[in-house]
A = this chain, B = another copy of it.
Amino acid sequence: MPVPGAVVIGQSGGPTAVINQTLIGVVKACRANPKVFTKVLGAIHGIQGILDGKFHDFANETDANLELVAGTPSAALKSVRHKATPEDGKKIFARFKELGVRYFFYIGGNDTAETTNIINELAHAEGYDLTCFHCPKTIDNDLRVTDHCPGYGSAAKFVTQAFMGDNLDNRSLSGIKINIVMGRNAGWLTAASVLARQFPGDGPHLIYCPEADFSLDAFCADVEAIYRKLGRCVVAVSEGIHGPNGQEIVTTGEVDSHGNKQLSGTGAMGDFLSDVLKKHLAKTWPEKKHRIRADTFGYLQRCFPGVISETDASEARLAGSAAVAAALADVKSGSVAFKRNDGAYGVTTFITPLPTVAKETKPMPREWLNAAGNDVVSEIVLPYLKPLVGTLPAIGQLKI
């Protein structure tokens, strides 16, 4: 039997379009079991809120407002990028004792799973009876164990629609267009651009992911070949591309407390690749004036209201309620993961130990990219992606 006690929920890391679905999934499942979950508290800015004593009591929220919040992108409890230290652990348990907290649900990516694991281990070491769950979320789709991650489907939908529109734009006013897509170490989100291909000749014509080493020479040759053939070229490039042995393509500055480098929030990579191509074509094709543009999709990809995959939204809700269901079944810790059902698309949840999800991430398999490393293998990627992204806008073209 699960012990009665208060619940603390937090959100951590980069927000997604559906992270509040998971939050509300936890809150509503807890509210449905008031004998076990005596109080439901939200930690403002994740564990920083626990350390600072800043909580939100969900007793003050109506179901109608919770549903409105669930459909709203970004972390309603506000987020944080902070890795728990042993000293933090002591402060956290002091606070938990004071509030009678026996359940901790932490929504986030691999860094968040790591912090959840640290808190779980510290609780054991301190002999504090705490049930500790990590609920997955990341647009990067790079968590281990699970088939895919809540947040990914909606970001993939945004990226797909962005490439659909940009391919049409580029078809209308020809030239070379480079689009930089989020994804720290994994190409999952960049790979989603393949879904934008609706008609023969549609872009993106080239897709570069971090799972294959990137070479500027090969990039220039690839782009020029397509551009000479079609008169235009749309390119998807992951912000995480690198040369052999992880060599950086463009160096940017900042590093967070988990050691992650800043890749987004600057146009540096796109502008650099654009300049490289301009110089290359000035040599190989000087007689033509070339129109070369780069866009960096940036933060729009992860929190765009109105571009949300329904599958992703309902699965994100499930990632929250499944954690509470496990706690009610007296499971003491773990991370919620999805297994894809056989046959018609659907998922089954299961609980995986926290260390299996914490820290390390899962790149896309190298075999999902072609040998040249400049495209995905559609036969593998499309069946995986399509159900996660859901319905896309209908695209028409004249019989030109």
Q: Spell out A's residues near B (CB within 8 Å).
A: 11, 14-15, 17, 42, 44, 56, 60-61, 65, 67-81, 161-162, 164-166, 168-169, 171-173, 177, 254, 264-268, 270-271, 274, 291-300, 302-307, 392-400
Contacts and interface: CB of A to CB of B under 8 A. Distances in A.
Q: Which of A56, A305, A395, A398 has the most CB of B within 10 A?
A: A398
Contacts of A295: 265, 296, 298-300
A169 B15 CA distance: 7
Contacts of A393: 71, 305-306
Contacts of A161: 304-307
A300 B165 contact: yes
Chain A interface helix/strand/loop/mixed: loop
Given A14-B173, A42-B398, A76-B397, A168 B303 contact: yes
Nearest to A267: B267
Contacts of A69: 396-398
A396 B165 contact: no
A164 B65 CA distance: 18
Nearest to A399: B60
Nearest to A253: B278
A400 B302 contact: no
Contacts of A265: 177, 274, 292-295
Given A304-B165, A400-B44, A78 B15 contact: no
A351 to B, nearest CB: 27
Contacts of A300: 162, 165-166, 295, 297, 300
A21 B398 CA distance: 13
A56 B399 CA distance: 8
A77 B171 CA distance: 10
A221 B380 CA distance: 52
Nearest to A291: B254
A274 B299 CA distance: 15
Nearest to A302: B169
A37 B224 CA distance: 43
A108 B268 CA distance: 32
